[in-house]
Amino acid sequence: MATPVTDAPAGMQAFDRTTSRWGRLTMLAGLLLSLTGPVYVALFMDVGVTLGHIVTAYTAVAATFLVFAVVEPVTYFPVLGQAAMYQAFMIGNISNKLLPAALSAQSRIDAKPGSKQGDLAAVMGICGAATVHLTSLLLFVGIFGTWLLSAIPDEVTEVTRMYILPSIVGAVFVQAVATVRQLRPTLIALSVGAVLVFAVIPALPALTYFGTALGVVATVLIAWFARRRD
């Protein structure tokens, strides 16, 4: 008897259902675990924390970062897909580690972001990035961390702090451009970013924390209205 061939669409539907179910459960478990410590301290330890303090702190943080809770999922989902989104927000360091890993995996097998093949490539790329990250943390932080800090000159540490973030962001941008391969949206994104960094933010420093949201919204709107209408 011939071996039955697995139906690819049915397999992907089962994959999506499974990752959706377990993704919600693990994200909920992570949320509860992250709140357990602070709630216990606030309720059962005499540290002087009042409800007013909690509301004030939450308001201050939400005013700065709540916009990212909306912008980041909308921005990352077209590239990562459903399963990788659960991974990414559970692991963290999305823009400077997981997104480049997903884009690299998709580019390596020539998979288009948003396709089923691209979603699976993003999942495997994030698995690889997390494995490398945890291994390097174990070796270079857990085992050799103190020795490395004492051995690295202060000048090297300062240079690393100054240039490592721009280098990572630049690499992400180049990878995104290579993946999209469209001149018009690339030029629009570059123009919007340059205007925000060199004109809008210096003139209106209060908009600093909303720069990412403004950049994403402006790029999407301009690209939409400037699209080719055939």
- pLDDT by residue (tens digit) across 79-131? 888 899 999 988 888 877 888 888 888 888 888 888 888 889 999 999 999 99
pLDDT at 8: 62
CB 78 within 8 A of CB 114: yes
Domain boundaries, the chain: 22-181
Q: Measured on CA atoms in the order 162, 128, 82, 190, is the torsion positive or negative?
A: positive
pLDDT at 170: 79
Asked if the model's pLDDT at residue 5 lies above 60, the reply is no
Please tell me what DSSP assigns to residue 142. Answer: I
What is the C-alpha end-to-end distance of the chain, expressed in Å? Answer: 52
Q: How confident is the model at residue 1 (pLDDT cuts 50, 70, 90)?
A: very low
Residue 110, Ramachandran bin (φ over 0: left; ψ between -120 and 50: alpha; else beta): left
Rounded average pLDDT over 197-201: 88
Percent of all residues in the chain with a pLDDT value above 70, rounded to a whole number: 94
What whole-number distance in Å separates Cα of residue 82 and Cα of residue 116?
10
Residue 99 tokens, joined: 């997104």
Asked if the model's pLDDT at residue 3 lies above 50, the reply is no
Residue 208 or 98, more confident: 98
Q: How confident is the model at residue 229 (pLDDT cuts 50, 70, 90)?
A: low
- pLDDT by residue (tens digit) across 155-164? 888 888 788 8
- pLDDT by residue (tens digit) across 142-184? 888 778 777 888 888 888 878 887 787 777 777 777 767 788 8
- CA-based nearest residue to 201, from 213, 190, 210: 210
- pLDDT by residue (tens digit) across 129-139? 999 988 988 88
C-alpha of 17 from chain center: 23
What whole-number distance in Å separates Cα of residue 135 and Cα of residue 139?
6
- CA-based nearest residue to 169, from 221, 128, 211: 211
Rounded average pLDDT over 186-214: 85
Q: How confident is the model at residue 32 (pLDDT cuts 50, 70, 90)?
A: very high
Residue 148 tokens, joined: 């490395």
**Mean of all residue pLDDT scores within the chain:** 82
The contacts of residue 97 (CB under 8 Å, 6+ apart) are 129, 133
Amino acid (1-letter code) at residue 37: G
Please tell me what DSSP assigns to residue 113. Answer: T
pLDDT at 71: 77
